[in-house]
Structure formats: C-alpha cells, structure tokens
Structure 1
Amino acid sequence: MFATFWIGFAWVFRMLQSAILGYYDLIIVTALITNGAYVYQRIKNYWKASQSNVNRHENGALHGKHVIITGGSSGIGKCFAMEVARRGANITIVGRDNERLKLAYDEIIQHCKNRKDQKIECLSLDVSRSAIAVATAFADHETRLGQCYMLVNCAGNAVCGKIEDTAEMTLKHMLDVNLVGSYNCVKAIVPGMKTAKEGKIVLVGSQASLLGIYGYSAYCASKFAVRGLAESLSMELKPYNVSVTLALPPDTDTPGFAVEQESKPLETKLISESASLVQPEVVAQQMYKDAMAEKFFSIVGVESFILTTLCSGMSPYSSLYELLLQAQFMGPLKLISAFYRYHFDNIINRCAKERESQKKVE
C-alpha cells in the first residue's frame, strides 16, 4: 500500500517539476511538503495520545450496556460482537438466517467477559422490510437487555455489474439492505437515545461511499446514500449527546466479499487488486475504537486515509487536529489521486481493447 502511495507521489512530483514548475516554485513546494510532514507528525503524536486516553477510559464503558448489531451472524458484525463481548456488553445480534445466528452465538458467548452476568440474544429479522416490525422487535429485546446504548449497522449486500447488466430488482435489493435497513434501525432506537441523552450509532459504509468505481454503479449509489444519512444524523443527534460514526472499510475477507467476487467484471477485479484484503477482526477493532472516541470517520489503511481526507468536505470533524490535517493535505492529495485515476482508466481502456480484439478474432 505504501509503495503505491509513494510511486504515485513521485510520479506527480516529477510531472509538476518538468511541466509546470520553475526553480523557485520547487523551493516553495518543497517547503510546503516539509511543513506538511511536520504537521502530520504533530497530529500523529496527538492521535496516539488521544487513543491512549480512550483506552484508559474505555474499560468498563460498555459493562452492562446493550449493543444491537445487524449483520451480526458473520463477517465484521460478528467480529464486532466479539469485541464488545470482551468488554462486558449485553448484545443482540440481528440476521435473517437462524442457523447462522446460532453458530455466531456459540462463538460470541466464548468471548464474554462475565458469562454469568452478560446476556447475548439472537434476533431473526429482515430489517429492510418494515420500520414498525424493527421497532417492535428492538423494543422487545430492550425490555430484557436494557435500553440500546450502541447500534451497529453491519447488514449489507454487494452485487457488481455494469449498469446495463444490473437488474432493477438487484438495485432495489441493495438500496433496501444497505440504506433502508440502516434507516429503519436508526429510527427505532433514536427516541430512546434522545431521552437518555447518550448513545452511539455506527453505520457501515464502504470506500465506495466516497468513490465511484467501475462495476459498482448500483452499490455505490446505495453506499453514497449511507454517507448522507450519517452526516445528517450527526447533525440531528449532536445536541442529545449521541455520536455517529461512519465506517469505511476497504475490501474485507468476509463471506459477503466471497459472494461479491463472483459478479465482479474483470475491470473491477483489477482495480480492487490495487489494495490489499483486510481481515474483519482488524476492521471491527478499529470501528470499536473510533466509535468509543466519537470519531465520525472510521478507516483502515492508507487508501482510506487518502479518500477521507480528499472527500471530507463538509463532513463533521472530530477534533481541531483532524480539521488541520484535512486542510493541510486535501490539496496535495488531490494530485496523488490523479495517479490512481490514471491507473484505473488505463485498466479500463486496456480491458476494452482486449475485448474488441477478441471480437475481431471471433
């Protein structure tokens, strides 16, 4: 990942050096880069200190608290459930498949901090079908496990394909699962959080919440919408001491990713190979840390750092240092992004030429 970053940086810098900048301009650019490195180091030190502070105070923060996790029977959701089980939380895992829920329950229960006191329950429910059904089911579990303190929306679906190859029902299904399901769950727990004046909401988006990618037209539409939902909720709920975190995981080694691979066009596969595959445990641990620190973005890897910095725009910032970091690097990273776009366009053009050549041969 770092090699890709620095290759891109060197390419852009050389292009600017030869085509645009003179001697004095290069001195100015060098000074800006040096200053940027200094600011980055200062902010990195602050981030480490803030993480240490979070780690000192998070012990016991979830003890006896109720955490509801959709998509909790596998992948990131199951790993997140294990993460909060170690910290004494009561957990409701939500999914559609009873058998998978039972298997996940057996794994999660092994990670409980105090198995005698903690409560772990399964809820078989399609959260995209009915807001009333979701609210009723959640309320039932809250009577036994307590008021929902943290909602984690991990339920998601991804089907790849060019727009002309994507059926209308496929688009509707992804919008239902990725957007409507999250919306229904949030709507169900927000009144209680407002009354309690505390709570945490984690919405799982994707790098595709920030970047349109070949073969992901329907998926990106649903995940861009999740970002809009998260930003609006952050503004609505801030007066009530309810934080919102938008997780933007890269390609993650989950059962859902394996299914997604089956429908990917060649171009999409080659573009995706530009980044490495991340384990769900890593994503879940980072999501937990960022949610407890009340950060808006939760990211893993340098590509996600580049994307969130470039696309931060009017998004909430979690601290003054984060704001300064975004302001310092948004411009230079735009140049780095040009390398990525150039690389992606080359892949698409090469595949198109190969396809045309095959047609001529046939």
Structure 2
Amino acid sequence: MFANKKQRKSLWNRHVVITGGSSGIGKAIAILAAQDGAHVSILARNVEKLDDAFREIKKYIVTEDQIITRVPVDVSCLEAVENNLLEIEETIAPIFMLVNCAGFAACGRLEDLTERDIKRRFKKRREGIIVMTSSVVGLMGMFGYSAYSACKFGLRGLAESLIMELKPYNVSVTLALPPDTDTPGFENENKSKPLETKLMSEAGGLHKPETVAKQILEDALRGHLFSYVGFESFILTTLCIGMSPFSSIIELIIQFILLGPLRLIGAFYIKQFENIVLKCFKNPNIQEKKD
C-alpha cells in the first residue's frame, strides 16, 4: 500500500480474452499480450478483420506453445458470447484476463455478462483481471455525447462495485479511460461528430492505439482502477476521484494536495466548453466556415 506502484502480474502462459480485438486498442492489447507470452483469444463480429488481426498477432508470439485464436461472434449477443467463452476456456485455458474493447454497442450487454458470470468464472480460481473500456466522457458530460456518456458513467459504478465484491478473491478490475485515439471507430465517429464536440476535443489531441493499449495493460497488470493517458486525463481523473479506491498512500497524498488547484483548472476548461457551445449557437454558419 505504501509503494507508489503495485507489483506487476505476469501474463506468461496465461489466457487473455479480448472482445473487439480485431482492430484499434483491442488489437494493440492483444499484440502486447502475445509479446508477454500469453495465450490470446480475440472476439469480434467482422470475420475479415478478425482473420487479419489473427495473422498479425501470431507474428508476435514468443514461444511455440502459445495459442492464438479468433472467434467470430456478435459481442452484443450475450448468450453467444457466453457460449464462446465457455468453449475457449475448455479448449485453451481458464481466462486470466478479460478485456472488453467492443465499443458502444456492447457496453450494456457485455457488462451484464461480466457482472452475472464473473463470480462463477473468476472466484472459483481466486485470481484474475477484468478490464472495462469506458472513456474520458465516462467521468464528465460533454456536448454531443449524451447517450454515450450516460452509458460510460454507469461502467464506473459497476467497476467500483465489482472491486469490493471481488477483492477477497484476488480479482482486480481496471476501468480504461482512453482519450481520442486513432482507430477505425474514432474515424467513423468523426463523420457525424458535431462541430462543438470537435472543437472541445482539440485540446486533448489524438493518441496512437499502441500508446493507449500499453498503458491499459500496464495499469491492469498492476491492479489500478483507472487507466488514463495524457495530462488532461490525469486532471479529470483526479478531479473525479470521489470515493474511488486508491492504489497507494503516495497517490492519496497527491490527490489530497491537488484537488483544490485542479478544481480551478477544471472550471477553466468548463468555461471554455460553454463558450464554444454559445459561439456555435450564435453563429450557425460557423460549421460551413470550418469545413
């Protein structure tokens, strides 16, 4: 508790299952897990992308004993996902790390699976890691993200509840809060993103999926609740820490010292966002000029 970093768990000869592992952050995590000596199973709906990712991930295995497998499945279908998880556990190995990178469409159903079946799947073995992919808008509301933000806010409550329930069983939960990341999903999202949202997001920049994936995997293996990238995300996570558990005494002290000053910085950001909304409202032609 008094150390700044928890001991890092090993993935060697462990089984890592990643939903949404055919592209973006999910595929990047799969590659890193393979490099760490893990057996990797990726689940996704698009068969072509899944096959491409499978071939790419296999290039990064470090032993001939590693098993890399892909499972074509609609991750929004709870029953199908559960059946496939049971099958790959029987044929490969028990799941040590379950990573959900499946995106918005699955955020409700797959977490239902996690909440309902984790007790049976992980508690019996008394070890494991669960990673849920939320977003920075899972900590604060933002223009254009009403439905998405509401969904992601719920994941935090689920993650914090599971931490308490699973602590006696040596099972950790990490909530990933990726910023804007250069993935196919983000590219598709930008096609319909309101101008106000684009202007608000500019300050945070665009991050590589490999960078985000590396941080998520590192935080998950060290048992940290939140995984974030960048200074803006650090500010937001610290401001919204509330009653969340802390990883170390040092982290707790830093939060205690910085909460007051960071509140002022946060207020500055909020004021900037409000000004962007008002500017776009008063100047409806600004969209055409921006384009």
Task: Quote the sequence identity (%).
Answer: 50
Task: Find runs of 4+ consecutive structure 1 residues off by over 3 angstroms.
Answer: 185-190
Match of 1:128 in 2: 76
* Aligned-partner SS, 1:281: helix
2:115–2:162 Cα contact (<8 Å) kept: no
1:248–1:297 Cα contact (<8 Å) kept: yes
Match of 1:251 in 2: 180
- Any idea what the Cα deviations from partners look like across 1:48-81, whole Å, max 9, x if unmatched? xx37x63xxx5xx212111110010000000000
Q: 1:73 to 1:356 in 2, by over 3 A?
A: closer
Match of 1:155 in 2: 102
Q: Does 1:144 align with 2:73?
A: no
1:128–1:184 Cα contact (<8 Å) kept: no
Match of 2:34 in 1: 85
2:215–2:229 Cα contact (<8 Å) kept: yes
Distance 2:115 2:207 in 1: 27
2:280–2:286 Cα contact (<8 Å) kept: no
1:286–1:300 Cα contact (<8 Å) kept: yes
The number of residues matched between the two structures is 286
Distance 1:334 1:281 in 2: 31
Q: TM-score, length-normalised on structure 1?
A: 0.76
Distance 1:118 1:356 in 2: 57
Which structure: larger Rg?
1
* Cα offset, 1:99, TM superposition: 1.0
* Aligned-partner SS, 1:67: strand
* Cα offset, 1:357, TM superposition: 9.2
Match of 1:273 in 2: 202
* Aligned-partner SS, 1:122: strand
Distance 2:241 2:94 in 1: 33
Q: 1:346 to 1:138 in 2, by over 3 A?
A: same
* Cα offset, 1:220, TM superposition: 0.3
Q: Does 1:112 align with 2:61?
A: yes
- Any idea what the Cα deviations from partners look like across 1:91-134, whole Å, max 9, x if unmatched? 110101111110000110001111x200011111122222x332
Q: 1:300 to 1:357 in 2, by over 3 A?
A: closer
Q: 1:264 to 1:147 in 2, by over 3 A?
A: same
Return 5+ residue gaps in structure 2 as ranges. none
Q: 1:100 to 1:257 in 2, by over 3 A?
A: same
Match of 2:170 in 1: 241
Distance 1:75 1:207 in 2: 17
Q: Does 1:95 align with 2:95?
A: no
* Cα offset, 1:262, TM superposition: 0.7
Distance 2:116 2:62 in 1: 30
1:254–1:280 Cα contact (<8 Å) kept: yes
Q: 1:337 to 1:212 in 2, by over 3 A?
A: same
- Any idea what the Cα deviations from partners look like across 1:163-183, whole Å, max 9, x if unmatched? xxxxxxxxxxx4xx2222233
- Any idea what the Cα deviations from partners look like across 1:221-252, whole Å, max 9, x if unmatched? 11111111111111111111100001101000
2:43–2:73 Cα contact (<8 Å) kept: yes
Match of 2:246 in 1: 317
1:138–1:188 Cα contact (<8 Å) kept: no
* Aligned-partner SS, 2:17: strand
1:167-316 alignment, distance < 5 Å = 174=105, 177-185=106-114, 187-316=116-245
